[in-house]
Chains A and B, each alone.
Chain A
Amino acid sequence: MKALVRDSVAISVKEMKQLARDPVSLILTVMFPIILIGIFIVISSAFSAPSYDIPVVVADLDGSPASKVLLDKITTTPLVRVTELLQTEEQAVRHVETGDATGAVIIPQGFGEALAHGRAFIVIQTDNSKITAPQIIQISVNSDVQTLLEESGAQFGVKAATVDVIVRPISGRPPSGDTILPGFLGMITILGAFDDAVNAITRERDRGTFPRLTLSPTSLISIYSGKMLATVFLTALRTSLMLIIFVLTGLVIRGNLILIYLTTSLIAMFTLAMGLALSSRIRSSATLTVLEIAATFPLFQLAGTTASPEILASGGRAIARALPWTYGNEALRRVIYLGLGLDAISGDLLVLFVSTLILLPIATFLSKRTM
């Protein structure tokens, strides 16, 4: 047992030394999370910006005082930018069809009169090939109509709304684009640990040092444990870096920091075990990295990084629930956002731990067979 621990530590120190001597890998280990999170902060800020410049055309076919008030609301809203006022519905629709505008708002003839009877309608034509812009246009126009009714409703004899939904998130945080940040901590942990696996085995194979290592008196379990120890250390470094970035961007971490480190360590250990198992079949480091990248993008969706697995279709939800990473991301969110303790995330951590315990011996067995 003593020899196992000593050998594992020796291997771990060797891994760290090799990393320190390889400037490209070292820079990547540090820069990779920063670049990655930088890109996703751009994405998050795009979704939570207070104003947009979505081009919209308006055709006011009514010209009544009510339609003029509505037109005024639409032109002053920060979400859309009215690029042109048109005379006919056909012209407005044509602008959307040709891609000159993302949306068209048509205020039909008789709008003002119909509003007085509570039966008015307006038409929105949107370019639904866009992903989020049509929803923002709809939200914007809805809000403009609501404001029209609130401010001038009495004048037109209609009430604002029948039922109002008041949303109260349990964390008490204001709704913002940072809801995906804990998921990205999980994702960066996965990518980092996978890269560690590539460094640990396949690159050693490429250099020809892996057979020498296995021929030394160190046991294969010690070799793998040492590599895992190095990964846990590097994961702690990456986690610290990410948490600093999170705090600098204004995210409040509610839960226990030790639980965050524990969760990222378990995610990293499972990922490394997966990497070791895959590296027994895929010998080239470049191929393994390509596979890692290929797996990353579907994982954004399927492992609950950007959206809750609960809102996926049944097939996607089943896949998400079969992936141990989903539980890691869930645990991170519960600790970071909701400030929950070990009792709330113990099930998630158990899934990760048991999955690693199952996968690691399989990886060792496969490695032995293909050595």
Chain B
Amino acid sequence: MPASKFLRDALAVTANELRQFSRNRTAIVISLFVLPFFFTVSLGGAQGGAGAHFSPTATVPMAFVDNDLSTASARLWQMLASSGDFSALVQGYREENAIALLGTGKIYAAIVVPQGFEASLHNNQTAKILLYTDDGEPGLGDQISSTLSGDVENFDPNVEVQPVRTAGIAGVQIIQKGVVFSGFSVGLTIVLAVVQIFAAFYEIAGGIAKEREEGTYARMILSPVALGSIMLGKTLYDLILSAVRTFIVLGLAVYAFGARPNTDLGTLLFLSLMLALLTMGFGFLVAALKLGTRAVVIIEFFLILFLFAFSGFIIDKELLRGISRTISTLLPWAYGIDALKRTILIGQPLLSLGTDLSALVAGLLLFYAAAYILFNLLRERLAT
């Protein structure tokens, strides 16, 4: 078949898909509004903007129980209250009353300075603070404990104005280098990937399943258009939608939440579209298995969950062990997500990410080739 006819047919399929899309109000709302807006705004709401300083413990109500009633304990309170990490510290509770209030939602922790706090410090001994936490709230106790430990590391009972916080233990200061990214910036890489994977998979696999259920797929493969043109046409159509989604997510992140990606727009668009292409390939593969729309949706749910667990979305690959690590190594999406993080956050040049890009390309070629073979083999079965 001449290449020009192949391409003309592919463009015709693309135009047909776009026309159908423009007539489907629900599809437009979900694909271009709900997915990109919902995910990005949820992230912004939860993590605050990219530039905003946000201490998770700042407004959490806590009791400060001073059983020592010394100058040192008063200075400790002063230091914590002015640190910006504990702005909702309440004084005046007795220890037993504060502990009894934990679990009720009125306070979430009680910082208790025991008797002998100042004496320990003056005797050059390690003084102790007790922290009672409401561990019915996931992550809250750990967060308060690590913030408090960090704040008291450099506490000096002999100075009225406490030094600015630096990580370390008395005697050895630990200087941490490497840019610290806001929760929003890290989350942006996840949101961009999730939005593309989520939408691209449903648009391809769900679209073909729907066409099969409505009978238009059978008519399409009986037309003189080659299977390759159909796949290419649908891919081009979804690439256009994926590009629009990338701009929406990035636009929201940059203009509404102050994100400053450390790479250029071209790199971002390229990686985002590569992830979408990879997912489209997987979508074609699933569609070639003659599954209904409901099955496609269920697979989509588990795909996203699977990627959440094994692709570095919320757990770094380095933290996985055994079979989980092997799965993570085999998943091509993990490489795309790694590439997104290394470019958006660190600003590493695209061409230096050879392993990630090779894995992405290998994955998408594998998916497309397997889908093409299956579509050809099951041509008649899929049309009935």
Contact = CB atoms under 8 A, between A and B. Distances in A.
A162 B129 CA distance: 11
A209 interface: no
A285 B294 contact: yes
B138 interface: yes
Contacts of A165: 128-129, 131, 145, 148-149, 152
B316 A120 contact: no
A165 B169 CA distance: 13
Interface string B129-163: 11111111111111101001100111110000000
A212 B138 CA distance: 47
Interface string A309-325: 01111111011000000
A319 B38 CA distance: 12
Interface stretch (A11-19, A138-146, A224-232, A357-365): A138-146
B297 A293 contact: yes
B234 interface: no
Interface in A30-67: 35-36, 39-40, 42-43, 46-47, 49, 52-55
Given A131-B186, A163-B126, A294 B316 contact: no
B233 interface: no
A179 B143 CA distance: 13
Given A159-B124, A316-B47, A301 B173 contact: no
Nearest to A305: B138
A161 interface: yes
A241 interface: no
Contact of A314 (B59, B128, B176, B178): B59
B177 A310 contact: no
Could you say which of B54, B305, B348 has the most chain A C-beta atoms within 10 Å of its C-beta? B305
Given A120-B172, A315-B45, A166 B341 contact: no
Contacts of B170: 118, 149, 158-162
B179 A298 contact: no
Contacts of B105: 330
Contacts of A121: 168, 172-175
Interface stretch (A122-130, A215-223, A260-268): A122-130
Interface residues of B, number: 108
Interface stretch (B270-278, B317-325, B371-379): B317-325
Interface in B61-113: 76, 99, 102-105, 108
B308 to A, nearest CB: 8
Contact of B139 (A99, A167, A173, A307): A307
A144 B284 CA distance: 51
B45 A310 contact: no
A168 B131 CA distance: 6
A313 B42 CA distance: 11
Contacts of A145: 168-169, 172, 174
Given A160-B169, A179-B138, A167 B294 contact: no
Interface in B255-304: 293-298, 300-302, 304
Interface in A169-218: 169-171, 173, 175, 179-180, 183
Given A115-B172, A128-B181, A308-B138, A162 B297 contact: no
B26 interface: yes
A349 interface: no
A31 B306 CA distance: 15
A146 B169 CA distance: 7
Contact of A302 (B45, B169, B175, B304): B45
A47 B174 CA distance: 24
Contacts of A131: 186, 312, 314-316
Given A168-B132, A293-B301, A142 B174 contact: yes
A110 to B, nearest CB: 13
A253 interface: no
A158 B131 CA distance: 26
Interface residues of A, number: 105
B48 interface: yes
Interface stretch (A1-9, A242-250, A333-341): A333-341
Contacts of A316: 42, 45-48
A90 interface: no
A161 B30 contact: no
Contacts of A120: 171-173
Contacts of B171: 115, 118, 120, 149, 153, 156, 158-160
Given A120-B173, A165-B152, A170-B99, A282 B26 contact: yes
B43 to A, nearest CB: 8
Could you say which of B121, B189, B301, B309 has the most chain A C-beta atoms within 10 Å of its C-beta? B301
Contacts of A97: 346, 348
Interface in B320-345: 320-321, 324, 338, 341-342, 345
A96 interface: yes
A42 B153 CA distance: 34
B39 interface: yes
B103 A344 contact: yes
A164 B99 CA distance: 20
Given A36-B305, A128-B181, A162-B170, A47 B127 contact: no
Nearest to A81: B318
Interface in A93-152: 93, 96-99, 102, 115, 118-134, 136, 138, 141-142, 145-146, 148-149
A319 B306 CA distance: 27
Given A54-B318, A158-B171, A310 B126 contact: no
B35 interface: yes
A35 B319 contact: no
B198 interface: yes
Interface string B17-55: 000000000100010001100110011111110001010
Interface of B: 26, 30, 34-35, 38-39, 42-48, 52, 54, 56-57, 59-60, 76, 99, 102-105, 108, 121, 124-143, 145, 148-149, 152-156, 167-181, 186, 189, 194, 198, 202, 206, 210, 293-298, 300-302, 304-306, 308-310, 312, 314-316, 318-321, 324, 338, 341-342, 345-346, 348, 352
7 tightest CB-CB pairs across the interface, nearest first? A158-B171, A298-B42, A313-B48, A308-B137, A316-B46, A169-B135, A311-B56
Interface of A: 24, 28, 35-36, 39-40, 42-43, 46-47, 49, 52-55, 93, 96-99, 102, 115, 118-134, 136, 138, 141-142, 145-146, 148-149, 153, 156, 158-171, 173, 175, 179-180, 183, 282, 284-287, 289-291, 293-298, 301-302, 304-308, 310-316, 318-319, 330, 333-334, 337-338, 340, 344
Given A167-B131, A307-B138, 15 more contacts: A28-B298, A43-B309, A53-B318, A93-B177, A102-B316, A121-B172, A127-B346, A162-B155, A163-B129, A284-B26, A289-B301, A290-B202, A294-B35, A313-B54, A338-B136
